């Protein structure tokens, strides 16, 4: 069995043919994400036309929440074109078309093949410009009533300190993301030109001020996983994304376990790589459990 996997992000669209073992069988092809709805649809049609004869199913891993029927994106997706949620994915091919949120798909790839393999309950946090989340409970992706569960927009502070990309204030994403680290750095250094690179370089060279900024950011992540740990009692947390490479999993695991009232959990880094979203969507579409 084979899936044509298509990953749709804010800046790039990737596609590849993937089998039921999660192996990538073709080259991974990259396109820039158009800022126009018709152009996005045309790219999808072109990719599908090229590969649909050789695959059993089309599997989309996309930014944005996806309904429980895995057919549509629901609500708005800040980093994609207006009207994206109007796309009827099933009309793009005569083959079965399956759609899942990219963070959920990546969490599934880790669950089947990666760091959380063997964990019946896991929470994946993807730390990039924003924060993606995927929750697996009792070996099933937890989707909620509408399909949009696992969005990391729970509140960290009650007093409107920082605006979030979702329009609300002080969500976990506004602190734990790469943009959150920049904001924390701005607040603590009183320098609005400071970058996340400045903080990471400073951390590596032992600069006290930059280390304090990094620690504040990491401790906000710790606060989040303590709450999630108590709520979901997961076997493990898995961190992925460009910012995850800098976190200290040993510190987070030890500190979280010192505070949570549920049984000890593990804090791990993802192992399925950059194409986890495509791999997870393919496995879900091919119904690999």
- In the complex, the residues that contact Zn ion under the rule CB under 5 A are 153, 164, 166, 168, 171
Give whichever of 41 and 182 is closer to Zn ion, judged by the CB atom. Answer: 182
* Burial call 220-256: b when 16+ CB within 10 Å, e when fewer: bbbbbbbbbbeebebbbbbbbbebbebbeeeebbebb
Give whichever of 102 and 170 is closer to Zn ion, judged by the CB atom. Answer: 170
Neighbours of 184 (CB within 10 A): 25
Token duo for residue 200: 């990471």
Is the separation of the CB atoms in 133 and 249 below 8 Å?
Answer: no
Give whichever of 65 and 164 is closer to Zn ion, judged by the CB atom. Answer: 164
How would you class 190 by CB atoms within 10 Å of its CB: exposed for 0-12, middle for 13-18, buried for 19 or more? exposed
Length of the chain, please?
Answer: 289
Q: How far is the CB of 78 from Zn ion (least distance, A)?
A: 10
Q: How far is the CB of 168 from Zn ion (least distance, A)?
A: 5
Is the separation of the CB atoms in 110 and 272 below 8 Å?
Answer: yes
Give whichever of 78 and 273 is closer to Zn ion, judged by the CB atom. Answer: 78
Q: How far is the CB of 7 from Zn ion (least distance, A)?
A: 23
Q: How far is the CB of 152 from Zn ion (least distance, A)?
A: 8
Q: How far is the CB of 151 from Zn ion (least distance, A)?
A: 8
Give whichever of 99 and 131 is closer to Zn ion, judged by the CB atom. Answer: 131
Distance between CA atoms of 174 and 177, rounded to whole angstroms? Answer: 6
């Amino acid at each position: 069995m084979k899936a044509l996997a298509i990953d749709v992000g804010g800046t790039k669209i990737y596609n590849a043919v993937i089998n039921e073992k999660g192996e990538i069988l073709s080259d991974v092809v990259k396109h820039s994400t158009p800022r126009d709805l018709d152009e996005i649809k045309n790219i999808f049609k072109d990719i599908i036309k090229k590969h649909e004869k050789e695959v059993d199913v089309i599997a989309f891993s996309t930014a944005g929440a996806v309904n429980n029927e895995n057919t549509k994106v629901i609500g708005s997706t800040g980093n994609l074109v207006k009207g994206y949620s109007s796309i009827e994915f099933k009309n793009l091919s005569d083959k079965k078309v399956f759609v899942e949120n990219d963070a959920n798909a990546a969490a599934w790839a880790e669950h089947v093949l990666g760091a959380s393999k063997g964990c019946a309950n896991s929470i994946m946090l993807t730390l990039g410009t924003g924060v993606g989340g995927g929750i697996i409970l009792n070996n099933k992706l937890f989707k909620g009533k509408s399909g949009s569960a696992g969005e990391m927009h729970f509140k960290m502070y009650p007093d409107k300190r920082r605006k979030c990309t979702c329009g609300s204030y002080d969500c976990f994403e506004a602190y734990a993301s790469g943009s959150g680290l920049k904001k924390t750095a701005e607040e603590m250094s009183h320098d609005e030109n400071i970058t996340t690179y400045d903080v990471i370089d400073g951390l590596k060279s032992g600069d006290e001020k930059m280390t304090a900024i990094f620690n504040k950011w990491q401790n906000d992540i710790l606060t989040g996983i303590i709450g999630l740990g108590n709520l979901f009692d997961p076997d493990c947390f898995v961190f992925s994304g460009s910012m995850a490479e800098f976190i200290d999993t040993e510190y987070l695991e030890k500190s979280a376990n010192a505070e949570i009232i549920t049984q000890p959990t593990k804090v791990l880094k993802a192992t399925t790589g950059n194409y986890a979203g495509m791999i997870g969507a393919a496995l879900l579409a091919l119904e690999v459990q």
